[in-house]
Chain A
């Protein structure tokens, strides 16, 4: 069997990117984004992309680079603040945005990856999100029909992976990555630590290898923090106990 392991992001994307394709990209804000793959997607020069993700990067960071390079025509996202170029391209009509409630977006991707074409949710009933969509009552409650999502390519970021493609995420960097891994016609994973089979606890695998087509070890992670927030250490109490 051919190995899933690639040397780097550009070789991992070779042969799978094309103009007009749809791309899912994991992450919440800039946390858990596939930094190496985003750069390689920009460098590939493919255009007319439909990008599916909770956000589209933020000023100077993440998917912002692909957007700033004029490669994106449509975005499916739940929140696009802190992104001046997207604001400009959206207002001028150069980029289309389909806003999805965050939980609906997550579930659409989960459903798509699980072979479920549509589902009903209360989210958005009676709002602009429900316009033009089928609605139905179950037990007296109103629900909106939302469709499952798949993409030509899913780019995910994990903490550890093995050469078979099993993945483990870290803390809140997990977010949209596990569902996206299931919903890509081709799924490419970048990991901070690439290990041999047997080194990851099978009981602790978050994304089983069946969902991952290509994997490589990413490098030079920036992990930019959007809102660094800290607390002060309490002032040291003096030895005498006097205040």
Chain B
């Protein structure tokens, strides 16, 4: 047993706080937008120049001048604002965005993150990922615990090219949750997914970690 994609997203949604400005990556993080805890107001940032992303449009509301960073059509809300890419990344680089939830290929016990390229494959580019991990105040990574072949993705050091060095604060996988001290290094397992044992997660993890289950 392990968490599903939806359960991982629901766990990530617990990191949202009232009044937060949040940037979501593609994949599992996108699901978080539909899982905001009741009583909390969250404003979503889209790095192509928008604060206050609304839901996907109805067919008759589609506007080609209104897309998110994943190039999907979206809608605006009463408090929406639009701005240039430079202003958008001033928000990111200047530490004005509270939280970013991103996918990952590999995370290391010192908080390094690799999620933008695999050597030998066509490089598509990092987009805004390097800016987000360097500038957003708190970085949460949501990813499968193991590669399809079983190789661990939470490691002593990333073997893939880095998106950022010492940038991850929290790692959520299908097997559990790890706090990472990105300044001084060191990971702590704080939660196990339902039905997952400590022995299983230890066997499937290369990174060193302490255990302080909540």
Complex CA distance for A210 and B125, rounded to whole angstroms:
33
Q: Looking at the assembled complex, report how far the CB atom of B100 sits from the nearest CB atom of chain A, in whole angstroms.
A: 12
Which of chain A's residues have a CB closer than 8 A to the CB of B92? Answer: 103
Complex CA distance for A8 and B207, rounded to whole angstroms:
60
A79, A80, A104, A170 interface centre (most CB from chain B within 10 Å): A79
Of the candidates B47, B64, B84, B122, which one forms a contact with A90 in the assembled complex, judged by CB atoms under 8 Å apart?
A: B122
Of the candidates B82, B124, B134, B162, which one forms a contact with A79 in the assembled complex, judged by CB atoms under 8 Å apart?
A: B124
Complex CA distance for A32 and B49, rounded to whole angstroms:
12
Which of chain B's residues have a CB closer than 8 A to the CB of A87? Answer: 122
Complex CA distance for A172 and B81, rounded to whole angstroms:
10
B83, B126, B130 interface centre (most CB from chain A within 10 Å): B130
Q: In the bound complex, do residue A178 and residue B163 qualify as a contact, i.e. CB atoms below 8 Å apart?
A: no
Which of chain A's residues have a CB closer than 8 A to the CB of B62? Answer: 225, 228, 230
Q: In the bound complex, do residue A227 and residue B71 qualify as a contact, i.e. CB atoms below 8 Å apart?
A: yes
Given A29-B67, A171-B65, A178-B86, A126 and B166 contact (CB-CB distance below 8 Å): yes
Given A81-B124, A123-B134, A230-B58, A103 and B165 contact (CB-CB distance below 8 Å): no
Of the candidates A78, A97, A126, A173, which one forms a contact with B165 in the assembled complex, judged by CB atoms under 8 Å apart?
A: A126
Q: Binary interface profile of A, 160-171, with partner B (CB < 8 Å = 1, else 0)?
A: 000000000111
Q: In the bound complex, do residue A127 and residue B67 qualify as a contact, i.e. CB atoms below 8 Å apart?
A: no
How many inter-chain contacts with C-beta < 8 Å in the A-B complex? 176
Q: In the bound complex, do residue A78 and residue B49 qualify as a contact, i.e. CB atoms below 8 Å apart?
A: no
Chain B contact residues, majority secondary structure: loop
B46 within 8 A of A: yes
Given A80-B125, A87-B122, A175 and B49 contact (CB-CB distance below 8 Å): yes
Of the candidates A90, A103, A230, A233, which one forms a contact with B131 in the assembled complex, judged by CB atoms under 8 Å apart?
A: A103
Q: In the bound complex, do residue B125 and residue A77 qualify as a contact, i.e. CB atoms below 8 Å apart?
A: yes
Q: In the bound complex, do residue B163 and residue A127 qualify as a contact, i.e. CB atoms below 8 Å apart?
A: yes
Q: Looking at the assembled complex, report how far the CB atom of B136 sits from the nearest CB atom of chain A, in whole angstroms.
A: 11
Of the candidates A124, A179, A230, which one forms a contact with B56 in the assembled complex, judged by CB atoms under 8 Å apart?
A: A230
- Ranked 8 nearest A-B pairs via Cβ: A126-B165, A103-B89, A103-B131, A223-B64, A101-B130, A79-B125, A106-B85, A229-B72
What are some 25 contacts across the A-B interface (CB < 8 A)?
A: A31-B65, A77-B125, A78-B126, A78-B127, A80-B123, A80-B124, A101-B126, A101-B127, A102-B89, A103-B47, A103-B92, A126-B164, A170-B65, A171-B50, A172-B50, A172-B67, A175-B48, A176-B84, A177-B84, A226-B71, A227-B71, A229-B74, A230-B58, A231-B57, A233-B58
